[in-house]
Structures are given as C-alpha cells and as structure tokens.
Amino acid sequence: MKGKKIDTEFLISFIENCISKNIVTTDEILAEAKSQIANIDKKIIEAEKLKNTRSKILDVISTFDTEKNINKTNDAKILPLFKIPNPNICKFICDKIKNGPLKVGVVLSDKHSNQDIMFSIKQLLETKVLIRTGDLLSRGEMYSNYIKLVLCNE
C-alpha cells in the first residue's frame, strides 16, 4: 500500500474489538473485516436505491402540491398591478366603471388631463384590470384584485 497511510488507532481498536468477541487469529480477524465490508457495501447500495426513490417521490410531491404552484402563479399575475403609475387616476377610472360598462368618452374629465386618463386606461387594459369591447370599457379579470390589493378598497 504505497502512499496510503494506515490509521493505526483504528486498526488497534478493530483488533481489540475482535478479541473482545473471541476472534483471535489473523484469519478470523480478516474474515470479520471482510464481513463488515460486505455489510457496509449492502447498506451503501440500499442507500443509493433509496436516494433514487426519494428523488422520484419529490417529483410526485411537486406535481401534486398544487397550492404552492397556484400561489406562485397568482403572485406572478398580481405583481404587474403594483407597477401601474398614477394610482389616483386609475382609482378615478375604476370608480366610474364600478357600476357597469362605459364609453371611453364618459371617463374623460376636466379633473385630470385626457392624456393622463388615456395612458392610465392603456395601463389598466394591459394588466387586464379593464377590458375594452368596441368603445366600451368594463371590468377585467384582474379588476377586483386591483381594487382590493392596490387601491385597498373593498
């Protein structure tokens, strides 16, 4: 065994352990060492099989753990709502549309510039807070989320 150091403390401990079990000849000690190696190898093979099974079971968990997947998807959908500029103008528009669809012209007011209102409508359309059918604006699929989460209204 050129180049490999032998752990003499372990060797002495192993021999003492064998002697305490009434294993005293060199052939018996060698047989005991080979027996322990065989047991260790069996356990290593068993552990490798368990490792493979574990990774496959983790796949099952990730497939069926829909609550986490849904939460991540919802978070990704809601995040753009917080990036919409001019929340006061957006609130004004959402309040107008709260009771039902309106024509774009009805939403325009002298409170805010037409350019700002049109920009805000565009932002709300892109994030699906509003939907446009012809020249009518109405609530989109993200309307209630926007009102609750961003504008903090019920």
| pLDDT, position 134 | 86
- What confidence score (pLDDT) does residue 4 get? 77
Q: Where are the beta strands (DSSP E) in 17-153?
A: 102-103, 130-133, 136-139
pLDDT of residue 24: 92
Predicted pLDDT of residue 137: 92
Measuring CA to CA, which residue among 36, 54, 35 is closest to residue 46?
54
pLDDT at position 3 is: 65
Judge whether 152 and 91 are in contact, CB under 8 Å: no
CA 111 to chain centre: 44
The tens digit of pLDDT for each residue in 136-150 reads 899 988 888 888 887
| pLDDT at position 15 | 95
Q: Which amino acid is at 133?
A: T
pLDDT score recorded for residue 42: 96
Q: What string of DSSP letters covers 6-22?
A: P-HHHHHHHHHHHHHTT
The domain segmentation of the chain, as residue ranges, is: 8-63, 77-150
At the topology level of CATH, where does 77-150 sit? Answer: Arc Repressor Mutant, subunit A (1.10.10)
Could you say which residues of the chain have pLDDT below 70? Answer: 1-3, 66-76, 153-154
Task: Tell me how far apart the alpha carbons of residues 138 and 108 are, in angstroms, rounded to a whole number.
Answer: 15
Looking only at the bridges linking them, the beta strands covering 102-103 and 130-133 are unpaired
